[in-house]
């Protein structure tokens, strides 16, 4: 069985590659920086004694997505599990009034994810097997002034995955939405959260277990489900007055 992990330079993705490789699966990691992806693959290979190949993947090269997936299949065979770990939070302030900056965040977090998922869905439906894991965010559960460009793209991705799960259910293809709270990675470097921040290793173990258990929507750390249900319940008239 082969596992494709996109966004391999993410610490979460790197740890996930470990989880699957140590479990005996053949892994393919891909990142914008092919050399860095190769380093991740080598590290995974050495530390797990498993098989890990690598390649270059740029989420915004939409025209190249089909050829990229073909090259992955040529290397590791049919893709049984695909994990979309790429994402770009961008700079909310820079995106305000600058459509190009906003579009980049939307393209990486949403447009690219839809393009890849549709291609994966077509091949997995044909084989009536497979699992697609999309890493979304609690930021997508409610629009906030401090990060609504990234949040709306992640929210759209979560809604998309919901529909895709619904469509693919009868063909036996599993689709899982991961809604992460704060995780200690490059993305959150220097952020003062005030809320406990999860370790990438723990996140990878939780996602690995949830994927194998064919979970539908998965919050991690788990307490974020409760936090977000409270946040979502705040009436808009009050919410718009908050500086969140």
Ligand X SMILES: NC(=O)c1ccc[n+]([C@@H]2O[C@H](COP(=O)([O-])OP(=O)(O)OC[C@H]3O[C@@H](n4cnc5c(N)ncnc54)[C@H](OP(=O)(O)O)[C@@H]3O)[C@@H](O)[C@H]2O)c1
| H or E element in which residue 137 lies | strand 131-137
| Between 49 and 65, CB nearer to ligand X | 65
Q: Which of 180, 206, 207, 210 binds ligand X (CB under 6 A)?
A: 180
44 contacts 122 by C-beta, under 8 angstroms: no
Give the C-alpha separation, 180 to 165, whole Å: 19
Q: Which of 4, 12, 72, 133 binds ligand X (CB under 6 A)?
A: 12
CB of 84 to ligand X, least distance (A): 7
Sites for ligand X among residues 100-159 (CB under 6 A): 108, 135, 137
CB of 204 to ligand X, least distance (A): 10
Residue 88 lies near ligand X (rule: CB under 6 A): yes
Q: Which of 3, 4, 11, 153 binds ligand X (CB under 6 A)?
A: 11
Residue 185 lies near ligand X (rule: CB under 6 A): yes
DSSP string, 78-126: SEEEEEE-------HHHHTT-HHHHHHHHIIIIIHHHHHHHHHHHHHHH
CB of 67 to ligand X, least distance (A): 15
CB of 171 to ligand X, least distance (A): 26
110 catalytic per annotation: no
Q: The tokens of 230 are what? A: 């409270």
Residue 19 lies near ligand X (rule: CB under 6 A): no
Mark the segment that binds ligand X (CB under 6 A) among 57-65, 92-100, 169-177, 210-218.
57-65
Question: Which candidate in 20, 110, 148, 150 is catalytic?
Answer: 150
Give the C-alpha separation, 43 to 180, whole Å: 25
* Exposure letters 51-80 (e unless 16+ CB within 10 A, then b): bbbbbbbbbeeeeebeebbebbeeebeebb
Q: Which of 39, 188, 205, 239 binds ligand X (CB under 6 A)?
A: 188
Residue ranges of alpha helices (H) inside the chain are 11-22, 34-48, 65-76, 92-95, 99-106, 112-127, 148-168, 200-212, 223-233, 236-239
Q: Is the peptide bond before 129 cis (omega within 30 degrees of 0)?
A: no
| Between 22 and 58, CB nearer to ligand X | 58
Residue 91 lies near ligand X (rule: CB under 6 A): no
Task: Look at the block and give the residue holding tokens 């939405």.
Answer: 177
Going by the DSSP 8-state scheme, the letter that residue 150 receives in this structure is H
Residue 165 lies near ligand X (rule: CB under 6 A): no
Residue 187 lies near ligand X (rule: CB under 6 A): yes
Q: Any idea which residues carry the catalytic annotation? A: 150
Binding site for ligand X (CB under 6 A): 7, 9-12, 31-33, 57-60, 85-88, 108, 135, 137, 180, 182-183, 185-188
């Amino acid at each position: 069985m082969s596992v494709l992990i996109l966004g391999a330079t993410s610490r979460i993705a790197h740890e996930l590659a470990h989880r699957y490789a140590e479990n005996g699966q053949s892994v393919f990691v891909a990142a914008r920086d092919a050399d860095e992806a190769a380093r991740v693959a080598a590290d995974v290979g050495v530390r797990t004694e498993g098989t890990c190949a690598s390649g270059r993947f740029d989420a915004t090269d939409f025209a190249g997505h089909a050829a990229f997936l073909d090259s992955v299949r040529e290397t590791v065979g049919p893709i049984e599990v695909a994990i979309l770990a790429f994402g770009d939070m961008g700079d909310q302030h820079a995106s305000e009034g600058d459509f190009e900056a906003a579009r980049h965040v939307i393209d990486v977090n949403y447009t690219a994810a839809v393009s890849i998922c549709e291609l994966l869905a077509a091949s997995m439906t044909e084989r009536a097997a497979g699992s697609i894991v999309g890493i979304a965010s609690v930021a997508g559960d409610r629009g906030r002034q401090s990060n609504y460009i990234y949040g709306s793209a992640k929210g759209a991705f979560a809604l998309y995955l919901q529909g895709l799960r619904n469509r693919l259910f009868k063909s036996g293809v599993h689709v899982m939405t991961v809604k992460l709270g704060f995780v200690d990675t490059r993305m959150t470097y220097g952020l003062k959260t005030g809320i406990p921040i999860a370790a990438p290793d723990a996140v990878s173990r939780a996602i690995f277990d949830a994927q194998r258990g064919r979970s539908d929507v998965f919050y991690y750390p788990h307490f974020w489900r409760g936090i977000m249900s409270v946040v979502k319940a705040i009436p808009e008239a009050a919410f718009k007055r908050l500086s969140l």
